[in-house]
Amino acid sequence: MKDKVVIITGASSGIGKALAFEFGRHGSKVVLAARSFEQLKNIEESITSKGGTAVSVQCDVSKEQDCRHLVDKTMEAFGRIDVLVNNAGISMRALFQDVELDVLRKLMDINFWGTVYCTKFALPYLLHSHGSVVGVISIAGHIGMPARSGYSASKFAMHGFLKTLRVENLKTGLHVLIVSPGFTTSNIRKTALTATGKAQGETPRDESKMMSAETVAAKIYRAVIHRRRSLILTLVEGKLTVFFSKWLPGLVERASFRRLSREHDSPLQKAEVNHVAD
């Protein structure tokens, strides 16, 4: 990946930030995209101080023009695009019966439409370079994750979009990689939206027991190198969950409900109370 041009959305924290350092240390020219420009500049300076090449572009992926601007700035800086990593995303935690519809729209705008916009504008250049489109969808893009209806819906939509993009480009040389991390150490649970659209503010899970963002980034890097079709991370929460969801869906659904209902202040505890009351 030396001298390859890599765009990473959601690069200011978590998996995106780890990816920026991972590609950067292998000599890639990294384009950092996120809403927080100050955080991007700090990461950019850290990469360049070690001899790497990085450019920061402030970008809200839910806005079509921001995504077009991101691609334009990349072409101005480097004249090509080799990899687009659609990593920007936001989560939620609320029962569907309680959540405000604007929350679901926001998740679709960022997670799904952000992927569509960036891919649409980068595609001509990726086709020219026979490059890679990477989508970070999570295990929630394979199973219905309770109390995260909007999150799962947006990730399922990403999954379907990327699989279709792959089929349409079987003869063009475009590589499409669909990445499905399990629970990963990041701030996505802190910024997850509640039923009213406010940030949750704290994680309901033990972050120390999760796969690190750096480990995820290293695995994504290798998957891009080997032009893999999919990457499902973690054994129990990832590979086994996806496998058994195809053959024993009821078992997976019950296990998912039980596990997520044990989270601190889980909305699913309300669902259990309502069931008992009925």
Which residue is associated with the tokens 């990726």? 126
- pTM of the predicted model as reported, rounded to 2 decimal places: 0.91
Query: In order of start, what are the domains of the chain with their CATH numbers?
Result: 5-235 (3.40.50.720)
Over residues 164-170, mean pLDDT = 98
Q: How many CA within 13 A on the CB side of residue 263?
A: 23
CA-atom Rg of the chain in angstroms:
19
Q: Name, in order, each residue with C-beta under 8 angstroms of 72's C-beta and a sequence gap of 6 or more.
A: 121
Q: Of 115, 116, 108, 119, whose CA–CA distance to 136 is shortest?
A: 115
Tokens of 131: 């490059």
- Where would I find the H helices in 130-208? 149-168
Give the Å distances, CA to CA, from 110 to 73, 89, 154, 253.
Answer: 20, 6, 9, 26
Of 117, 125, 151, 221, which residue is the catalytic one? 151
| CA 171 centroid distance within chain | 27
pLDDT at residue 276 is higher than 50: no
- Write the pLDDT tens digit of every residue in 175-203: 999 999 987 776 665 678 999 888 876 66
- Write the pLDDT tens digit of every residue in 60-74: 999 999 999 999 999
Q: How far apart are CA 53 and CA 5, in angstroms?
A: 10
221 in active site: no
